Amino acid sequence: MGGILVTGGAGYVGSACCAQLVDRGFPVEVVDDLSTGHADAIPNGVTLHRFDLGDRDALANLLAWKKFDVVFHFAAKALISESVVNPGLFFDANVASSIAMLEVLRTHGVRKFVFSSSAAVYGTPRAVPIDEDHATEPVNAYGESKLILERILRWYALSYGWSVVAFRYFNASGGGRKWGERHDPETHIIPLLLQTASGRREYFEIYGSDYPTPDGTCVRDYVHVMDIADAHILAMQKMDLPGCHVYNIGTGRSYSVQEVCQAAEEATRKRIKLRRAPRRLGDPAILCANPTKLMNEFGWAPSHSELREIMKGAWDWEQEQCKHVLAKQAD
């Protein structure tokens, strides 16, 4: 087969997927502008092409001499609170640049496409767990940008015969001693909690304690990035026919922010200082997946997504990050 082109392969989920592909012997190359990704997150031996996806000439030059059968599209702006106050940036990066990429791919005959979408397309759910037929009513521009691209991809599948799989992630999480979450600014709950436990942050803020949930804090479905990577590889092996298919990636089990705080304290054996804060813009009260469709059609099952395993791997990563911080301070 030809190669696999991974956009955003220097990011958290994209680099984890690259590692799984390489481990299984697939030829992989990455496009990433490194605006939020990290070159050292890309597995050894994987070529990085550093340019923005909206640069049609750069992508066309790459495809002119390199054959790719499949594209995994992870690249996106993803800071939800920012998307509420500055939506134009998100529509530019996540929609306009993606359309430019799609047109170049179409010109060069690439028709297999796996899209990193988001549970944010659902907005505030009317019922949980959420299946793929649930109404899509995003409450932030990030979710709207993902939904717009899903709809565009349906037309590419219908009109151009593309084979498209869109995965709606719930809360991607987890890590290991050599890899994990690195966002700037960091907004994800588990790394923020663990940075507080390690002393890199003074306290952890709980954004909202008056939600209509059992303990008043947001409830989320956490899925390990290795399980997300497994789903992508399974999808690639089932893309022989044209069409656009949407799947949730989650576990069907959700935890409140308060429960995740408790799990972090158990994993680290440290007391974590907590502070209450107002709700963040664009945060639904509950997001929990119904992953039955993915399980039934792909034979997928989350084998790494038990909360204790997620927390342990993320804590291993945080402890390694602390070593790097101390080494830099010593220099």
Distance, CA of 322 to CA of 318 (rounded, Å):
6
Question: Does 142 qualify as catalytic in the annotation?
Answer: yes
Burial state string for 207-245 with b = 16 or more CB within 10 A and e = fewer than 16: bbbebebeebbbbbbbbbbbbbbbbbbbbbeebeeeebb
* 142, 169, 247, 255: the active-site residue: 142
Distance, CA of 84 to CA of 141 (rounded, Å):
6
Distance, CA of 115 to CA of 105 (rounded, Å):
14
Amino acid at 239: M
Report the half-sphere exposure of 147 (CA within 13 A, side-chain side): 17
Report the half-sphere exposure of 330 (CA within 13 A, side-chain side): 6
Instruction: Break the chain down into helix, strand, coil percent, rounded to 5.
Output: 45, 20, 35
Active site residues: 142
